[in-house]
Structure 1
Amino acid sequence: MSKKILNHVLERLIETNSILKNITYLSNDNASIFSYQEQKIIKNWMNAVPNHVIARKLGISNSTVYSHKRHITEKIFVNNRIELFLFIIFLNIYIQMIKIFSIYKRNTT
């Protein structure tokens, strides 16, 4: 790949990163599209914790856990826990690549 094309790709990735940051890493800051409660549900869900156990841990009902899961999947257009897991992994890898490319771009200009 030529340097000109590589620089263009890096610039596009860096631009895209600022948009995607808001929907990726499950952080406690205001940038996440997931509420703090949804983040707790996701962490438990990724560990295959049953709904009734999640409900007991968080002090909410089973139906509230189910409702949170439905909202989570609707927000990022996934259908199940496996797709959510892959989505999170892919986007976290993507963000790490963007950070590396940003450092590379700064060092080459």
Structure 2
Amino acid sequence: TVGVASNMSPNSSISSRSHYTDNTKNFHRPTICDPVTEVDRFLMMGSPQDQDEHQRRKHLDDTREYCEALSLNPLRVHVETPSLDFLRTEDFDVVKAARRLALYWKLRKLIFGAD
């Protein structure tokens, strides 16, 4: 019997066809937990202090539950919702991270009630 390999010339290979291209050259995936990049972006784009300041300046109705929890038990707020986690989730966008944090406390109060 004649196999597929016997029909190929010694200098040819399957991957040498012109329609095979390197598709990975245009694929850019962010590096997850790259400490150098993460620290640089953190310093340039926002910090937990910036996020807290943005929360204070935001409309009271949006952040009522967050401010309430912060006044009752600041340690719980900082342990349960670390600002850096919210910044990472929102790609170090301080405004989006602050919105997400406020929404977290609003939904937490709605689901679990006031502690």
TM class by smaller structure: under 0.3
* Larger Rg, first or second structure (1 or 2): 2
TM-score when scaled to structure 2?
Answer: 0.24
Greater share of helix: 1
